[in-house]
A and B are shown apart, each in its own frame.
Chain A
């Protein structure tokens, strides 16, 4: 596939040659899968899977080390009343909180993910974005959630977006030769059309994304079943073409167990079992965890739980 990124023109021709997306059909398919009824054993399985896929996130200007440490504690022990509850996949924080999180999670399998590249707008010079990335990796980030330059994308400067992702990918390398995994956020709500989302997905994957991610959670429209379905189709087709598997992370707006079940059904019926692990699918979420925990308690006790029976962190 190297030739398609050889020039701006070649990349444009390739991206614009991808099959179009009919919005009504895409949304109808996502909605139809949303009617799957997940009950009893399937629900128990899916709840634990969903918990294990959460990038438990705090991305606030008011974040403090205390807040981050509390969240890490929650990630390590989501339900104090049931130690069998799976841990979340990762904690997701701003770069300056990476060291705190890494310290709190040391020795566990919960990863530290950091947003970078002038998150969420991405409006900074490339050297600043790369420094942001290197800082986070140096502080102990296992994963980097970068944002693409939506302005460049919408202006049709695809090669510029491509080169930037490649540069950030390079900045994810550690001195020992290992590298943080790179999640590429498209901010699908700003790309606006499904055709753009499909093109961005391929662009990100061609540039070396380990994950493609819908949103920052900071704009009006974040993860939806439809845009996530579309990105799942993209990773499916990318692997069929290149043999390379890429993960998907819907983020923002996924708050309930019911929502999470719908996304897992999308994964199950679009790309299948190979993506049904936190290595290849994540939820960028915060309040989702407590709802999953309450549903989990309901399944084990038979009683409906309440907000006072899960922790507020």
Chain B
């Protein structure tokens, strides 16, 4: 063992593809499960949240317009990059959640596999939830899912990486852009995930990661008129209710907090929660002009 002094990482936010500090200039102390100091994390302000909405909105056109195949490739690239940093995340998750190395490794592995799962969904969900409708008339009628828009997420508080990935990946798999407020007490894996995303071909602004207190930041997001949906996975009941009330002002789609086993098969619920069904009609008619009955 050498006596070399290690280099600490300055944890920063991930907004619009960049790594800003909080505009508030504030940080808060992040400790491990035993109270040992790990790092200072940015304490995001409402202004940071607003900037993240702007970044997410700006990215929405390009990301929602990308081909599903392309989105799948990029999500798979995230898995590849995360795999490469596996050891770093195992250490961070172990410290963040007070887990043994092997349990933390299981969490990281599951998080990597979750990216792979959603990478495969991007070009399949349309066929699973969309289709043509046999209307009783001379019309071609097709329903297909379209992304809801900008989605704001309160990340799960306990599952700092797997839970986080489980709420981010389905949102962007469907073509939405997202801003997520990381677990308040365990934000470091989330902030590190920003570094992975930045090197994974995910366009800037598609995922925006904030650390801080959801109770401080999120009310302005729930009320924000340019946010289309919120996922309250990590909000407590009281906060969730207040946020849901605020979200009604522009009728955001709301996913309420519920008990979730993040290790289990996630199904398609979080994908479809942020997809709108668009139905398009067009006349068909007969080939010739002789269709009339008299």
Chain B, range 247-288, C-beta contacts under 8 Å to A: 283-288
Considering the chains assembled together, what is the distance between the CA atoms of A191 and B288 in angstroms?
A: 9
Max chain A Cβ within 10 angstroms of own Cβ: one of B283, B288, B291, B294:
B294
Contact of A226 among B138, B287, B292 (CB under 8 A): B292
> Contacts A24-B138, A24-B139 known; A224 to B290 CB distance under 8 Å?
yes
A27 with B285: CB separation less than 8 A: yes
> Contacts A224-B294, A253-B294 known; A197 to B283 CB distance under 8 Å?
no
A189 with B290: CB separation less than 8 A: yes
A193 with B294: CB separation less than 8 A: no
Considering the chains assembled together, what is the distance between the CA atoms of A197 and B139 in angstroms?
A: 23
Task: Kindly provide the distance from the CB of A178 to the nearest chain B CB, expressed in whole angstroms.
Answer: 36
Considering the chains assembled together, what is the distance between the CA atoms of A259 and B293 in angstroms?
A: 11
Interface of chain A, helix or strand or loop or mixed? helix
Q: Mark A167-209, 1 if CB is under 8 A from B, else 0.
A: 0000000000000000000001101111011000000000000
Number of interface residues of B (CB under 8 A): 13
B290 with A192: CB separation less than 8 A: yes
Q: Which residues of chain B are near A27, meaning CB under 8 Å?
A: 285, 291-292
Task: Kindly provide the distance from the CB of A31 to the nearest chain B CB, expressed in whole angstroms.
Answer: 8
B283 with A24: CB separation less than 8 A: yes
Considering the chains assembled together, what is the distance between the CA atoms of A225 and B292 in angstroms?
A: 8
Considering the chains assembled together, what is the distance between the CA atoms of A225 and B289 in angstroms?
A: 11
A24 with B285: CB separation less than 8 A: yes
Closest A residue to B138 using CB positions: A24
A226 with B289: CB separation less than 8 A: yes
A23 with B290: CB separation less than 8 A: no
Closest A residue to B294 using CB positions: A259
Q: Which residues of chain B are near A192, meaning CB under 8 Å?
A: 287-290
Chain B, range 49-93, C-beta contacts under 8 Å to A: none
Q: Which residues of chain B are near A193, meaning CB under 8 Å?
A: 288-289
Q: Which residues of chain A are near B284, meaning CB under 8 Å?
A: 24
Check A51 for interface membership: any CB of B closer than 8 A.
no
Considering the chains assembled together, what is the distance between the CA atoms of A262 and B293 in angstroms?
A: 13
Q: Which residues of chain B are near A23, meaning CB under 8 Å?
A: 283, 285-286, 289, 291
Q: Interface size bucket, A side?
A: 20 to 34
Check A216 for interface membership: any CB of B closer than 8 A.
no
Check A297 for interface membership: any CB of B closer than 8 A.
no
Closest B residue to A253 using CB positions: B294
Task: Kindly provide the distance from the CB of B150 to the nearest chain A CB, expressed in whole angstroms.
Answer: 37
Chain A, range 1-60, C-beta contacts under 8 Å to B: 22-25, 27, 30
Check A221 for interface membership: any CB of B closer than 8 A.
yes
A224 with B285: CB separation less than 8 A: no
Considering the chains assembled together, what is the distance between the CA atoms of A22 and B285 in angstroms?
A: 9
Considering the chains assembled together, what is the distance between the CA atoms of A23 and B283 in angstroms?
A: 8
Max chain B Cβ within 10 angstroms of own Cβ: one of A23, A30, A188, A225:
A23
Task: Kindly provide the distance from the CB of B141 to the nearest chain A CB, expressed in whole angstroms.
Answer: 13
A188 with B289: CB separation less than 8 A: yes
A191 with B283: CB separation less than 8 A: no
14 A–B contacts, CB within 8 A, in A order: A22-B285, A23-B289, A23-B291, A24-B139, A189-B290, A191-B289, A192-B289, A194-B289, A197-B289, A221-B288, A221-B289, A224-B294, A227-B289, A262-B294
* Beyond A188-B289, A192-B290, 17 additional pairs, beta carbon < 8 A: A22-B283, A23-B285, A23-B286, A24-B284, A24-B285, A25-B283, A27-B285, A189-B290, A191-B289, A194-B289, A224-B289, A224-B290, A224-B294, A226-B291, A226-B292, A227-B289, A253-B294
Interface residues of A (CB under 8 A from B): 22-25, 27, 30, 188-189, 191-194, 196-197, 220-221, 224-227, 253, 259, 262
CB-CB nearest 8 A-B residue pairs: A24-B283, A221-B290, A224-B292, A23-B285, A24-B285, A192-B288, A24-B138, A194-B289
